[in-house]
Structure 1
Amino acid sequence: MKLDRNYIIKYIKDYAISKDYVYAMWLEGADGLNQFDEYSDLDFWFDVEDSKRDLFINNLVKHLSLLGKIDSRMNQKTSEIYQSNIHLENTNEYLTIDLAAQNDSRDREATCFTNGSITEIPKVIFDRKNIITFHEPYKIDKEKLNTIFEEKKNRILQYSRVIKYIKRNQYLECFMEYEKQILKPLVTIARIIYTPNIYDYELCHISRHLPKEVISNLEILYKVNSFTDIEKNISLALEMLKSFEEEYKQ
């Protein structure tokens, strides 16, 4: 029998809430934003008594192994967080389970989320110590954004750094410069206009954040397999830059 996400969420909740040293449990990612589909993973977070953090995650993984064979596991540990990402053999191939436990002593700023965020909202399962809090969006630093906009604009205008590798017939170097001089700066500029609070979010979930027309044009810029494509796309990038600049000045 294939296990679904709701069953796994309840199974983990029942285990975690029975431990008095686990002070909070919440979901992030697609579940927090209510944007999950059949390809979404599960991103669990726990606030745990410092001395019990690693024991809790390891025992939770053992508890999950009672549901089915764990066919892959990756661990990552820092002084404040222990994270274990697993997949159960009898679940959807895309349903990886990310288990992250933070020290209860961790700075509470790490679990203070932005109201109305389009990137991260916690779905709180339980919270015994008011671990999860919220704040209003930070005021946008327009001067800082202006500086970044100009820097990215001028980087794009130095597209000759890309062209010279076309002339030299060196595709790998050309693509490297194309990404650095054209693609990444243009994405940052687009985000400054449409998602200024997360202008540095690069391509992460960008299809959810930007207008469809902008996404379509960016996809054209990214789909290259020849010098001809790159050279043609530089012209499109310059047109997009001009349009973005006009929109930004409004």
Structure 2
Amino acid sequence: MDIRERIVHLLRYTYMEQEWIYAMWLEGSDGTGSVDHLSDLDIVFDVEDGNEDRLLEMLERTLTIIGPLDYKYEGDKPDELLRYIVYHIEGTPSTLLLDITVQSHSRKYEFVIEDLGTVPTIIFDKKNVVRYCHLDHLKLEKELLSKLYHIEQTFNQQARAKKYTDRGLFLESFAYYQRYVLQPLVELIRIYHTPIGYYMHLIHISRDIPQDVLAELEPLYKVNSAEEIGLKIEQATEMFNALLPLVKEKLAHKTTN
């Protein structure tokens, strides 16, 4: 049993019989079947409302069975009914960060069946917490049309980057190149190739988009001077302008059907 399996087995054995802990499942690479020796662990617990702190206190004691915790960080709440904490156990691989999400039971959430990037691997579920629904295509199309407007308008401000390339200021050029050229370009690529995960930006993009598109996109990030950024802006613009009408056509077709 490797260390990942040992952690999951320990938590399952310890918490499955706790009446106020309703469910435990894995997300991330465990859900998508892409675990390798560098993968972290994304673990979600569903608990009775009011027991969130209790779960975290218990979790920290449990993890020390494997080893002392040498890292702990609690991020901002993405939702009033969610807590997100990152742990690392001393002596385990540096990449084996434990991304722990604690969900209050009153939160009503459904996994979208068509979203293959977010798939739960259930460890136990005593209250049918893990539920599924089909994609709301109309809602998604409205979101994409709105997003497309902002993508196009952001890209049209690329002069903010060009002025710094003309001034020969690399850091400023790089920052504005990222914001007004690369980011909207990646979002446009996402809408065309992975519309369900259009918001994921570069996360797993090497896996999610065709290799020929990836081969065209990657060099745009490899810059060493303000002058080179100026040349890459031209290349990115050609790529953006070629893809934009295809995205509009695709969305128009969906909207009229």
Structure 1 length normalisation: TM-score? 0.89
1:59-138 equivalences in 2 (<5 Å): 59-76=58-75, 78=77, 79-105=80-106, 107-109=107-109, 112-138=110-136
Which residue, 132, 139, 161 being the options, matches 2:137? 139
1:185-219 residue CA offsets vs partner (Å, 9 max, x unmatched):
10111111111222222112211211112122221
**Residues 26 and 43 in structure 2, CA contact (< 8 A), matched pair in contact too:** yes
Give the aligned partner of residue 159 of structure 2: 160
5+ long unaligned stretches in structure 1:
none
* Per-residue deviation, residues 56-86 of structure 1 (Å, max 9, x unmatched): 2211211110111222122347552333322
Quote the residue 2:222 is aligned against: 223
Residues 1:171 and 2:170 are matched in the alignment: yes
SS at match of 2:43: strand
Separation in 1 of the partners of 2:95 and 2:4?
11
| Structure-1 residue corresponding to 2:200 | 201
- C-alpha distance in 1 between matches for 2:157 and 2:50: 54
Aligned to 2:4: 5
Structure 2 distance, partners of 1:154, 1:82, is 35
Corresponding residue SS for 2:93:
coil
SS in 2 for 1:145: helix
- Cα displacement (A) at 1:151: 4.3
Distance 1:27 1:143, change over 3 A: closer
Equivalent pairs, count:
246
TM-score norm. by structure 2 comes to 0.86
Percent pairwise identity: 32
Instruction: Give the residue type in structure 2 aligned to 1:30.
Output: S
Q: CA deviation at 1:142?
A: 4.2
Contact 2:169 2:226 in 1 (8 A): no
| 5+ long unaligned stretches in structure 2 | 251-257
1:165–1:174 CA contact under 8 A, matched in 2: yes
| TM-fit CA distance, 1:32 | 1.2
Partners of 2:177 and 2:237 in 1: CA distance: 13
CA root-mean-square deviation: 2.2
